[in-house]
Every structure is written in structure tokens, then in C-alpha cells.
A and B are shown apart, each in its own frame.
Chain A
């Protein structure tokens, strides 16, 4: 898993496919949900916590370790608050089940 093993063109291919997939998926998201969409994608992109963990595996010196530790804490904050607040927002969206709801 360590080091550069995948050829660049494979990673670029993955990137390109993700661009088209992302544009296609997001375009379909209802305007109602743009706020929770933002908190969700924010939590998902905090998968950078993985990158911080990888760097923390074998840090060469103390400074690298400190940077990576702070990064883990920041990304973990985003992951936890991001998914939880998305859940809280989504729970509020409801539709009146027929007729007059008070």
C-alpha cells in the first residue's frame, strides 16, 4: 500500500469518472436539500482523516506527527458534526400526510 504504485493515468481516469459522476448526481439533488447536501458532502470529504492516519503511521519527525494529529482532530470534528447535523436537518423535512395537519 505504501508509495506510488498506481500509474498516473489510472488515477486520472478515476478522477475523471468521479467528476462526471459527481456532476450528474448533484444536478439531480432537489433544491430543497441543498443545505443538508452541503453538510453531507463536507462530512464525506473529511475522509481526508484517512490521509492523516496514513501520514501518522510512520512520521519521520515530531513536527510531521503534530501536523497529522491536528489534522485527525479537525477531520474527525467534521465527520462527527457533519453526519449528525445532516441527520438532524433531514429529520425536519416532512410532508403533511393528506388533509389538514395542525
Chain B
């Protein structure tokens, strides 16, 4: 009887999870989506605690208390610029949890594991452990605790290939002979090492894709665990998460005109021999006063933010400048490229935090047709996503990538620290265009100086 009640509660939780994602589709209903998800989770946990009376309730409660004590401060205190790090960390936590449960379940069933369960368990542990180290490295890179540059060395793909071969060999060994005590540690070690190597080889600009792929892996390993435990709720929730990461990864790849394998094994910039045609020409720097005069006369302005906006925490200042421009009679929009920043949707969240109305946040497809009629584009800490080489130079590694076509507007003001190329290490001909002006310095300081100019009026 109780088993049936629990089954129906799981069904209810699954329905709530599905509704949660459905409502997440648009801003208006998104908060309902979050509540539906939370409610589904609460029901699932309570149902499980009723159905499987634990011998260790004290430990369960302590573990939940520890999780709550760690989780609440993260959720409340985290600055929005650090959301990509938090996401990477949560993938690490989630996949480690799944991998540990898989390992525990292996030892729990040890003498009599059937072949199917062993296959799924092996796959689950492979994915879980490699996602754990991969996400940890992603976290360290995003938090700048280690260098964000891709680690590239000769024979890198051979080394990675060998590690994969060892991991798969151990997995096959386990399936053939589940009781062998050596296969599991080898599998775990090789999976951990592979995750490490995989993400060490990836540069900052590829992070949005990598985070999405790791998201997908974490979800799929949870779904695999559902098969092992014969728990349909876990299958559904894990699969939904896996599908979400997969779609986001595809969108990110499309936005960079690259393939999955190219992102994972390319080591972009560092290994591509071509950096695109060398560009030369005259750089036209300008002072804050000159920039002010251009903006003051503009009747339409598009801000194009990139990762530099997050680095200099300039989102609030940008919104203030936007408000001043609007008061001055200009139309103000924001052009958001899908891979600007370090995770999918990063720029939208930062600008929303600064109180920018979300209907002013435009995708590349929506803003590009307007470009010829835009007076001024202000590029803030973005580089590759506005690089016209993607359109003009077939030898460029960015060739074919959809960009925000700021160079088609009447005037482009690029806020930039120095003439360093972007994360892809590719030359940017935008900086040498006739209609481009460079405003050197910290983005936030430059914008605040512009705000000061406006206030002097």
C-alpha cells in the first residue's frame, strides 16, 4: 500500500518538474516554474523518507543540515558576476553525489550484480567522476584560481585518448567480471584524470559551451542512476537536465560556428596555426570628452557587453549611462551575443541585476538589421563577438561565426583596456575601421567619467 502511495507521490513530483521547465520558458511565468520545481523536490524527498525508513535518520538530518548551511549563504551572498563559478561548482557537487551513490550501490550489490546493471553503473560512474573533476577545473578557472588559458602540449590528444582507453577498458572489465577488486579503482582514477585533462585544455571563451556540456553529463549520470535503482523519477529528472545541457551546448556551438568535438579537442587559438590575416591600420583613440560629444548627439545607441563588463563590474554604471542617454532623447538598446560572458545567458542576468528592462535586451538576430540606422554602438569588454573578420576574412578562425555587426553602425566606440586580442587570440579588424574610436581604460571608470560629463550639463 505504502509503496503505491509513494509511487503516486513520485508521479506528482515528476509532473511538477515538467511544469517547472515549461513555466521557465518565459519571464512572466518563470517564478512559478521555480516554485513548482521546489515543491516537486520537497514531495520527492518526503516520499522517499517515508518509503525507505532509514536506519540512520540522524546522519540524514545532519547531512541535510550541512547542505543547507553551505547552500543558503552561497545563494544569498553570491555576486551575480560569480554565477558561472557557482554553476560549475554545482555541477561538480551534483556529479560527485551521483558518482558516490553509484559507487556505494556497486559495493552494496557486489556479489550478484547482473550484466545490465553493471553496464549502466559503469557508464554512470565514468560520467559522474569525469564531470566532477571537469567541473572543478572549470570552477577554478572561472574563479581565476588557476590560469584560464588552455593547457596545450604535444600529443595532448594521444594522452587523453590513452586515458579514455584505460577507463573504458576498466569499465568493460567490470562488466565481464564485476567482483574483480581492481577494475573499479582504475575506472574511477582514469575518469577523474580524463575530466581534469578535458577541461584543462579549454580556454575562457569556450566556457559557456563546456559548462553546458558538463551540465548535460551531470544530468545523464543522474538518469543512469535512475535505471540502476529502478527509480523513474530519477530517470525523468536526470533526462530533463541532460536534455537542457545538450540544447544549450548546441546553441553555444552554433553561436560560435563550431562543432562539439572542435570545442572539446581543439584548444582554440593556441593550436590553430592561422590567427587570421594580419590587420594593420590606424587606431583612433579618443578622450572621454570626445566620446561624450558623440553620445550626446546620438539619437540611437546600442550597448554591446562582453565578459569585460563582468570583470569590471560595470553593469550598474552602464544602466545609469543608458538612462541619461534616454533622457537626452536617444533610443537605447543592448545587443547580447549568446556566447558573451562565461555561461549561457550571463550578460542578461548582469544587466537585469542592474535594473535594465528585459525588453531592451536584444539578440543578435534582432539587433543586426537595425545596425545601419544606429548612430553609436558602445562595445564594452567584448571582442570576438563583434569581430568583423567572421564576415570578411575566410582565413580567420572566427570565419562564419554569427556576430553582432557593430561595424555597420555609424560610429563604434570600443571600451578597452589595451590592444590585447580577445580570448580567441584573434586579431580584430574592427579596431582599425574608419568608423571606430577606441576609448582606452577600465570600462567602469570610463563609463563613470562619461556619466560625470552628462551630469555637468
Contact = CB atoms under 8 A, between A and B. Distances in A.
Interface string A7-41: 01001001100110111011111111111111111
B345 A31 contact: yes
7 contacts: A4-B230, A18-B223, A30-B25, A38-B212, A38-B245, A51-B226, A75-B67
Given A29-B24, A44-B37, A65-B59, A18 B348 contact: no
B101 A71 contact: yes
B355 interface: yes
A48 B358 contact: no
A81 B105 contact: no
A10 B440 CA distance: 62
Interface residues of A, number: 87
Contacts of B358: 32, 93-95
Contacts of A82: 71, 90
Interface of B: 3, 6-7, 13, 17-18, 20-22, 24-27, 30-31, 33-34, 37-38, 40-41, 44-45, 48-49, 51-56, 59-60, 62-64, 66-68, 70-72, 74-76, 78, 80, 83, 86-87, 90-91, 93-94, 96-98, 100-101, 103-105, 107-108, 114, 116-117, 211-212, 215, 218-219, 222-223, 225-227, 229-248, 251, 323, 326-327, 336, 338, 343-346, 348-349, 352-353, 355, 357-359, 361, 363
A40 B345 contact: no
Nearest to A79: B41
A102 B323 contact: yes
Interface centre among A41, A71, A102 (most CB of B within 10 A): A41
B86 A73 contact: no
B97 A32 contact: no
Contacts of B353: 92
A75 B94 contact: yes
A71 B27 CA distance: 33
B30 A55 contact: no
Nearest to A23: B243
A25 B18 contact: yes
A69 B323 contact: no
A45 B238 contact: yes
A14 B237 CA distance: 11
A51 B352 CA distance: 36
